């Protein structure tokens, strides 16, 4: 059933309310709510909302159709200039999600974030060492078993045998991926 258009005297109020639903902040809030309804973890939703607050001063009250790639790049560059390279990368991804959601719901024509690839510095990845050779892993397990010190060392052996993260080993609920 089609919606009934507002009468002429109510049209300005209707158009103002309709325009408010097409701002970057409103669509971002809808996206966060959608993630909440989909059962995403509280941390995921919270991180999305936090990242959107970083973009809100510059983009929040703007109609999403009017936002351009250079404006988005300026927001990302402001985060990058503070040395927060990973945050800038994630913010770009969240802004892209907002635009793709706006396209899917008919409130934007395209996602301008695709043109920003390479526009900000990439975070330098720091690789962590790991024992990946079977003989070296066996030597580590023998060294742990032979250690006659604090009982907490048993947790090291358990972690090595179960391949879980330390937080998952400490958790009462066990690994979250199982």
More confident residue, 6 or 118: 118
- What is the distance between the alpha carbons of residues 16 and 177, in angstroms, rounded to a whole number? 45
pLDDT score at 14: 43
Taking 70 as the threshold, does the pLDDT of residue 135 lie above it? yes
Mean pLDDT, residues 109-133 taken together = 86
Judge contact between 177 and 162, C-beta under 8 A: no
pLDDT score at 147: 81
pLDDT digits (tens, 9 = 90+) for 4-37: 665 666 555 544 545 557 899 999 999 999 999 9
Mean pLDDT, residues 99-116 taken together = 93
- What is the distance between the alpha carbons of residues 146 and 45, in angstroms, rounded to a whole number? 45
pLDDT score at 115: 87
Task: Walk me through the domains of the chain, giving residue ranges and CATH numbers.
Answer: 8-116 (1.10.150.130), 134-170 (no CATH)
Judge contact between 55 and 75, C-beta under 8 A: yes
pLDDT score at 178: 46
pLDDT digits (tens, 9 = 90+) for 56-96: 999 999 999 999 999 999 999 999 999 999 999 999 999 99
Taking 70 as the threshold, does the pLDDT of residue 123 lie above it? yes
Q: What is the mean pLDDT of the chain?
A: 84
pLDDT score at 52: 96
Taking 80 as the threshold, does the pLDDT of residue 153 lie above it? no
Crossing angle of helices 134-146 and 153-162, in 10° steps, is 150
More confident residue, 177 or 46: 46
């Amino acid at each position: 059933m089609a919606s009934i258009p507002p009468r002429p005297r109510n049209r300005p109020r209707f158009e103002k309310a309709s325009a408010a639903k097409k701002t970057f902040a409103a669509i971002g809030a809808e996206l966060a709510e959608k993630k909440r309804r989909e059962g995403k973890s509280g941390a995921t939703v919270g991180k999305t909302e936090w990242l959107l607050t970083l973009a809100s001063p510059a983009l929040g009250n703007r109609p999403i159709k009017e936002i351009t790639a250079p404006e988005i790049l300026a927001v990302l560059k402001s985060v990058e200039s503070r040395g927060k390279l990973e945050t800038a990368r994630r913010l770009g991804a969240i802004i892209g999600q907002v635009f793709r959601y706006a396209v899917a719901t008919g409130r934007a024509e395209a996602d301008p974030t695709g043109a920003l690839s390479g526009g900000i510095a990439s975070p330098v990845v720091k690789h962590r060492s790991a024992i990946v050779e079977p003989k070296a892993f066996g030597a580590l397990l023998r060294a742990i078993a032979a250690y006659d010190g604090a009982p907490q060392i048993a947790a090291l052996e358990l972690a090595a045998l179960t391949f879980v993260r330390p937080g998952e080993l400490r958790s009462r609920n066990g690994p979250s991926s199982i």
